[in-house]
Structure 1
């Protein structure tokens, strides 16, 4: 898969992590010019993949890895979710009254292709799904992005200056909202609500994430 744009991040094993993954995906695909149909399908697919990963019986400190990528070849959007568990999830055939077991049915119905692969460079597996997305375009070098999508190595504009992000953390406001705390190469950390739009550059460059392995 020839990637022109991608973002990776990690999720803690928490019930709110699926909603956080959807928020990040919504922000990223919005910046990439996704239409409503693709956005809704991709959000549902990613939510199912993350939910499955969070149910894997592994220690609570093992994180879930997420990768969102757009391919220049064939115009495909790839969603990947990695966890430290064994096994190969398969499509279930739940009874009509069952309330669980339909996640992979949804993934199969909404995607062009999906599968499970060994996790590169670590234990566990990666579930991936491809959706046709010919309308997506490369991310511009400088653009606005939600604070929750900013990762280490990017540069953000603070006032009239550009600052490189050295670390990324989260915190909670007293009222309960999520805050993103960006450690910068100069000056104090930048602490803003997760949905705050920041002017960012360097988005298209390859970059790694900090944090514990999935």
Structure 2
């Protein structure tokens, strides 16, 4: 997609009340940390400040982005492949999506009792109004969480 068509698409989405942040990041702890902070800045620019109901929404979306990007690094990393964080705002919801290269490693809806991981998804379940996972061809997955506005 060239710069002109990207701009036209962004303008059309903005007019429809739909804007999004999208960034590839290295599937490393530092990459996840950096993209999460970039998304937090973007959310601060697009939602009212803390203390307002939507400010709390920004904080919750930031927590979801932190957990999902950390999970992509921990469970979805493939050497040499990047992950992607997308945060979308529209009139009804904030949606956080993270795509990684490990489609065969799907998150469990609840952790096993003796497992050492999976607890972060309990946080996602508690914070999000809805969440799930879908395949991302040719072999990855996208884990998403949605917050109603």
Q: Which residue number corresponds to residue 6 of structure 1?
A: 20
- Between the aligned partners of 2:87 and 2:33, the Cα distance in structure 1 is 15
Aligned residue-pair number: 127
- Give the 3 Å change call, closer, same or farther, for CA 3–89 of structure 1 in structure 2: farther
- Between the aligned partners of 2:124 and 2:106, the Cα distance in structure 1 is 15
Q: Is 1:82 aligned with 2:96?
A: no
- Between the aligned partners of 1:3 and 1:107, the Cα distance in structure 2 is 25
TM-score by length of 1: 0.54
Q: Which has the higher helix share?
A: 2
Q: Which residue number corresponds to residue 128 of structure 1?
A: 144
Unpaired runs of 5+ residues, structure 1, are: 134-214
1:6-42 residue CA offsets vs partner (Å, 9 max, x unmatched): 1211110221122212211211111112443222211
Q: Which residue number corresponds to residue 90 of structure 2?
A: 71
- Give the 3 Å change call, closer, same or farther, for CA 35–132 of structure 1 in structure 2: farther
- Between the aligned partners of 2:125 and 2:111, the Cα distance in structure 1 is 11
Q: Is 1:61 aligned with 2:61?
A: no
- Between the aligned partners of 1:34 and 1:71, the Cα distance in structure 2 is 14
Q: Which has the larger radius of gyration?
A: 1
Aligned with 2:40 (options 8, 18, 26): 26
Aligned with 2:126 (options 103, 106, 109): 109
1:3–1:69 Cα contact (<8 Å) kept: no
SS of 2:75 mapped into structure 1 = coil
TM-score by length of 2: 0.75
- Between the aligned partners of 2:76 and 2:37, the Cα distance in structure 1 is 25
- Alpha-carbon deviation of 1:123? 2.0
- Alpha-carbon deviation of 1:100? 4.0
- Between the aligned partners of 2:122 and 2:105, the Cα distance in structure 1 is 18
SS of 1:64 mapped into structure 2 = strand
Pairs within 5 Å for 1:92-107:
92-94=111-113, 100-107=117-124
2:36–2:69 Cα contact (<8 Å) kept: no
- Between the aligned partners of 1:53 and 1:112, the Cα distance in structure 2 is 21
- Give the 3 Å change call, closer, same or farther, for CA 8–122 of structure 1 in structure 2: farther
- Alpha-carbon deviation of 1:65? 0.8
Give the root-mean-square deviation of aligned CA atoms.
2.1
SS of 1:129 mapped into structure 2 = strand
Q: Which has the higher strand share?
A: 1
